Amino acid sequence: MTVIDWDRNDVLNYIGTYFPRSYAEAFCIYSDFFRYHVGDWYDKEELSVFDFGCGTGGEIIGLLEALKIYFSNMKFVNICAFDGNSYALRLFEKVVDAYSLRTNVKIKCRIIPIVIDDFYDLNILDSIIPNGFDIIMSFKAICEFVTKERFEQQNAYNYIVRNLLPKLNSEGIMLFVDVTSYNNVSQEWLPKMMDKGLEEADCQVIRRNEGYNQTFTVSHSRRKRDVSKVAWRIIQKFI
């Protein structure tokens, strides 16, 4: 499926199903990482985040909840959120506004509504987002670029990480999370395609799930014990 093509009803259904999955995945991955790396950012009061393909923002809320647990000094979070689906972005803004009323952290959010059809569109995105992010992430979005062959025959993970890595500060992290299915367009398993792309990029994988997928189980208003399987990698620049 390609979320970029969803209409308003599809996106509303996403809020009731996939949103809690993304929230749980992000909260667990970031919590596990911060548990062992809290010292790196312990004194930080402000954090900058870029979400590539934010959708309705489940992963953003998961990150914010993890930050609240491990970084009590955090006072400001600046979010730059990109997506090509206007319905999802409208709901994303409502979700972040509602969450802002329930936290002591001041959240500033910038929305970037761009549909990426080819290399040129990604260059436009590169020109309008700043450098120096602490966290860059992409949750289950790059698989859509693979399916739609946005970058022709190039490895989408490699191409995107090479474009986003310069936007990361020296101590920042980049988190890629994607589905673990076989892609009929690329004729390749997506986790293997992800690993191949990262190996050829100028980065280092500092943390990852074991094997080719990790199972997350979350109960929410629509389903008990809803299961999702994803592959994830946390990377940094080479020092």
Residues of the chain whose pLDDT is less than 70? 1-6, 119, 239
The reported pTM is: 0.92
Average pLDDT score, the chain: 89
DSSP code of 181? P
Residue closest to 173 by CA, chosen among 70, 73, 24, 49: 49
In contact, 172 and 134? CB cutoff 8 Å: yes
In angstroms, rounded to a whole number, what is the distance separating the alpha carbons of residues 87 and 192? 32
Residue 41 token pair: 């950012």
Dihedral, 119, 121, 125, 127 alpha carbons, nearest 10: 80
Compute the radius of gyration of the chain from its Cα atoms: 17
At 82 the three-state DSSP class reads strand
Distances (CA, A) of 34 to 28, 68, 70, 121, 207: 10, 11, 7, 34, 11
pLDDT at 153: 74
pLDDT at 6: 67
Q: State the greatest distance between any 2 C-alpha atoms of the chain, in Å, as a whole number.
A: 47
The CATH architecture assigned to 45-221 reads 3-Layer(aba) Sandwich (3.40)
pLDDT at 109: 95
In contact, 70 and 105? CB cutoff 8 Å: no
pLDDT at 4: 60
In angstroms, rounded to a whole number, what is the distance separating the alpha carbons of residues 154 and 140? 18
What lies within 8 Å, CB to CB, of 63 at 6+ separation is 26, 27, 30, 49, 135, 137
At 195 the three-state DSSP class reads helix
Domain assignments of the chain as residue spans, ordered by start: 45-221
Distance separating the N- and C-terminal Cα atoms of the chain: 38
pLDDT at 197: 94
In contact, 159 and 125? CB cutoff 8 Å: no
Distances (CA, A) of 62 to 58, 120, 183: 6, 32, 27
